[in-house]
Amino acid sequence: MAADVDRVEYGRRRTALLVLALMIMVFIVLSAFSFVGSRDQITPDTVTYAGAFGAVDGKRVFQAYNCMGCHTIVGNGAYLGPDLTNTFESAGPAWIAAFLPSAGTWPTEAALRVQLQSQNQTAETGITDLAAYYEAYPGAKERIERRGGLPTFMPNLGFRAGEVNEVIAFLKYTSLMDTEGWPPTPKVDGLEFPQAAKAINVVATDGSTTAGATADPAVGLTLADQYGCFACHAKTEARLVGPGWGGLFGSDQPLEGGGSATTDEAFLAESITHPDAAVAAGYPAGVMPAYAGILTEDEVNAIVAYIRSLEKP
Amino acid sequence: MTSYRTQRLSLRFFLLMLVLLLVQVVLGVVLSLQHADPTLLSGTMNFNVTRSQHVNLGVLWILSGFIGTILFVGPLLSKRELAAPWLIKFLFVALVAVTVWNAIAIFFAQKGIAGWWLGQPWIQEGLEYLEAGRAADIIILIGFAILAYVVLRTFPKRSEWNEIHWGLAIGVTALTVMWVFGMFFIGRIDLQEYFRWFVVHYWVEGVWEVIHISLIGILLVLMFKADVKAVGYAVFWGVTLVWLSGLLGNAHHYFWVGTPEFWQFWGSLFSALEPVPLILCFWHMYLDAHHDRKPIENKPAFYFLLGSAVLEMVGAGILGFTMTFALTNVWSHGTWVTPSHAHLSMFGTFGMLGLGAAYFIVPKLRKATDFDQRFGRLAFWLVFLGMLGIGFAFAIGGTIQVFTYRTLGLDWFGGDLYPAMGTYKVLLVLFGIVFLAGVALLVFDLMTLGHRVQAPAPQAADHTPPTSGWARPLRGFEAGTWLLGMWVFGFIITFGLLSYNLPRVQGGDPTIPYLAAAVGYPGLLLTTLLFVWRFLASLEARERASSVTMQRRTALAGD
């Protein structure tokens, strides 16, 4: 009797294991079909930003900063910040470049206009005009209008030269991926709902209000806020992406490639308008955008006056 | 039962488990505070660093508990000492070293340093659950290999193996093999996610589950003198059903990561079957606890084992079921809805097993079997209540997040989402503190158990056993009704997630999903709480009943 029960049980178990083996076969076949070339899924080795920055390098940067520890990508990761899969397609490269390395505030329109001048941006999108950019990337318009100048919670990460552009390449790749319709597209305009935060943009976005005021440190501070200078420069002596402004004025600054310069008004103004003319030792060239043609002479002078106000006593 | 000298080696792994658990839970509370105020510790210990530490320590203490339990039951299953005890001592040192190293290495993410060399990130690699760098990965791989070697060398000849031997042998071997899939940098997101879930899914839903079932099995044999053959039967079918459903069930991770649409069919179908073995395990727990009517000697151990089986069914089984269909997952994916499932199932299933095993084993090794059990029981209720609350806060916060973020398309977390979810972010902190209190209590209790002065065990109250009321004996029909109740609430939650697909909801009316969540989640979690209370009350009554009977017998003998 017991032997009979055992034999029946043995047969059942053998059947179960056979079914399991069949399942493994199914899984292997499905897996193989998932990654065949004919699927036309985009791969990162074929994606670059501005033809110069690779998406695979961007993925390395993305992992090195553990971006997945706060954000999700294709929905996986942590839930402190938004999903990044479609950020590129929504806000575009200039907005991302203006936002990273985040240092306290969301980019203003002024900061976005600076990034529109960047060679990489123009090479990628062919857009130099703000209106055209907003049309191509409506997410940027919404972000600038609702959040520009307001505080963000993302900590300053002090990216190294090239890393921001590589991250942009990676986000371009994830935007191009076919994720089977995820995340779902909203059917309504969320901004019309009470859940949407009120647009309380505290910073003027056209910059014209300051015209005529010369060399006023208070105006300089406002301008520096608008143009997102503090994304890369601390108000103290601390180094972020660029040198801190605290105690910078009137110091003796060694230059890349030998020699040194005194950081007086003329030198600082030149560093803002043509930053690569003389680069401070220890900092890579080509990181800071040139503000010639973006800032008026008066505005440059006001910012320099603000830097001077941070001089060591 | 502690007749083998090398069983004592398990003690150090349990102590390590307790230390890591305490740190992990403190970091969990810090995380919830950072969710409530993202400027907290920003620049010092950014959220991503805290979270990686929390996740990694969670894995490491659960593994320590597994190792401790395996080292204790290994000699019992083999009827001989553990092979190569020096290797186990080395394993312990390596585990401590790799834990400390990894905790430091995670901080390099704040500077964007991964330690790239030969195309691999050697210091830290910034992938969720696989944050450890390649250097740590290799040490961990060696550790797993040592564990597998020791277990397989200790076990008797293969012809003498029963199902528990097989379960543990396959478990420790697969633990090692699966880890390898997480040890390569992959440029493609879809391929990387495909292999990342090999490690994460097949670990928890394949390997850990097998170890879990086998260990629950052997502990039931040891605690209730349950019949080895009956337990072995349950272990075989438990493991087989886990694999039959879980192997293709892994497809539920391949819905939206860039893999083809056909995974949505396979994943929805097979992972919907994944609760089946969990219900079986739960039911077996009920049968074994009730197969004789003797009082339970070690209550904290049984409390946690019951908690493990129940939360496995509720957290992994029911909450997992609600979000496993492509049509519900498309909404829950990437939101706070998922950590409600993750916390209940991870801590519930595996964490509570480790704690139950510690309460079973530590007193035996310290020869303190008549220890004061009140601390352990109180700690159980605190962590159980705290964890149900954490699940509730995540689930309701997540329901609001899905509507605000996905349906309305509002993606400004600081401006739109934090205010909407604020209440539940605060609730998360509060329940986290309840949980932390329970953990602190049980860590203190287990650390000092057998070393501190024992309070005399309280005398059982002298009254007749209840035949009605809350503490009356639990019958199969009633247990089945509770189980059904939990599933009804599970279906309400599932319906709530499905309802996001309705045009009405997509047009901006959240009434249906909010109502379903407001009924479903509290209903499920309260039913779970009441059921465990009821189950344990009926067991407590047994003790009173038997002590009353004893007193009567003594009195009769006196006559």
Q: What is the rounded average pLDDT of the residues B75-80? A: 94
* Residues shown for chain A: 313
Dist CA A190 CA A199 (whole Å): 13
Q: What is the rounded average pLDDT of the residues B22-33? A: 98
Nearest CA in chain A to B262: A30
> DSSP secondary-structure letter at A184?
P
A117: confidence class by pLDDT, cuts 50, 70, 90: confident
Q: What is the pLDDT of residue B340?
A: 97
Q: What is the pLDDT of residue B548?
A: 59
Question: To the nearest whole number, what is the mean pLDDT of chain B?
Answer: 92
H/E element holding A253? strand A252-254
Q: Chain A contact for B506, CB < 8 A? A: yes
Tell me how close the Cα of A219 comes to any Cα of chain B, in angstroms.
28
- What b/e string do you get for B222-233 counting C-beta neighbours within 10 Å, with b at 16 or more? bbbebebebbbb
Tell me how close the Cα of A225 comes to any Cα of chain B, in angstroms.
19
Secondary structure of residue A105 in the 3-state scheme:
strand
Q: What is the pLDDT of residue B546?
A: 63
Q: What is the pLDDT of residue A88?
A: 97
Which residues of chain A are within 8 Å of residue B261 when distances are taken between CB atoms? Answer: 180
Q: What is the pLDDT of residue B9?
A: 96
Q: What is the pLDDT of residue A11?
A: 92
Dihedral sign (CA B200, B205, B211, B212) = positive
Asked which of A190-199, B317-326, B480-489 is least confident by mean pLDDT, the reply is A190-199
> Is it the case that residue B292 has pLDDT exceeding 70?
no
Of B47, B131, B410, the CB nearest to A196: B410
Torsion of CA A126, A127, A128, A129, to 10 degrees: 160
Q: What is the pLDDT of residue A239?
A: 83
Q: What is the pLDDT of residue A225?
A: 83
Q: What pLDDT, in 10s, does the model give residues B516-529?
A: 999 999 999 999 99
Higher per-residue pLDDT: B506 or A36: B506
CB atoms near residue A189 (< 10 Å):
11
Interchain contact, A79 vs B259, CB within 8 Å: no
Q: What is the pLDDT of residue A190?
A: 92
Higher per-residue pLDDT: B126 or B553: B126
ipTM of the complex: 0.94
Nearest CA in chain B to A187: B506
Q: Within its chain, how far is the Cα of B26 from the centroid?
A: 18
A258: confidence class by pLDDT, cuts 50, 70, 90: confident
Q: Where are the beta strands (DSSP E) in B47-122?
A: 116-117, 120-121
Pairing of strands A76-77, B120-121: unpaired
Question: What are φ and ψ of residue A73, in 5° steps?
Answer: -135, 135
Tell me how close the Cα of B101 comes to any Cα of chain A, in angstroms.
17
A200: confidence class by pLDDT, cuts 50, 70, 90: low
Written as one string, the DSSP assignment of A110-157 is HHHHHHHT-HHHHHHH----HHHHHHH-HHHHHHHHHHTTSB--PPP-
Interchain contact, B38 vs A153, CB within 8 Å: yes
Letter for the amino acid at B548? V
Burial (CB count within 10 angstroms: exposed 0-12, middle 13-18, buried 19+), residue B463: exposed
Nearest CA in chain B to A61: B112
B550: confidence class by pLDDT, cuts 50, 70, 90: low
Interchain contact, A63 vs B406, CB within 8 Å: no
Question: What are φ and ψ of residue A290, in 5° steps?
Answer: -85, 130
- Secondary structure, 3-state, A36-84: CHHHCCCCHHHCEECCCEEHHHHHHHHHHCCHHHCCEECCEECCCCCEC
A16: confidence class by pLDDT, cuts 50, 70, 90: very high
Best of A20, A39, A76, A156 to mutate (most B CBs within 10 Å, chain B): A76
CB neighbours of A194 closer than 8 A, spacing ≥ 6? none
Give yes or no for a contact between A253 and A279, defined as CB atoms under 8 angstroms apart: no
> Is it the case that residue B559 has pLDDT exceeding 50?
no
Q: Chain B contact for A195, CB < 8 A? A: yes
% pLDDT > 70, chain B: 94
Residue with tokens 């480790």: B354
Interchain contact, A155 vs B49, CB within 8 Å: no
Q: What pLDDT, in 10s, does the model give residues B40-54?
A: 999 899 999 999 999
Residue B363 preceded by cis peptide, ω within 30: no
Which residues of chain B are within 8 Å of residue A75 when distances are taken between CB atoms? Answer: 256-257, 333-334
CB atoms near residue B478 (< 10 Å):
15
Secondary structure of residue B369 in the 3-state scheme:
coil
Q: Chain A contact for B109, CB < 8 A? A: yes
Q: What pLDDT, in 10s, does the model give residues B234-259?
A: 899 999 999 999 899 999 999 999 99
What region, left, alpha or beta, does residue B411 occupy, with left being phi > 0 and alpha being psi -120 to 50 degrees? Answer: alpha
Q: What is the pLDDT of residue B504?
A: 97
Question: What are φ and ψ of residue A255, in 5° steps?
Answer: -110, 155
Give yes or no for a contact between A234 and A240, defined as CB atoms under 8 angstroms apart: yes
Tell me how close the Cα of A215 comes to any Cα of chain B, in angstroms.
33
Nearest CA in chain A to B248: A27
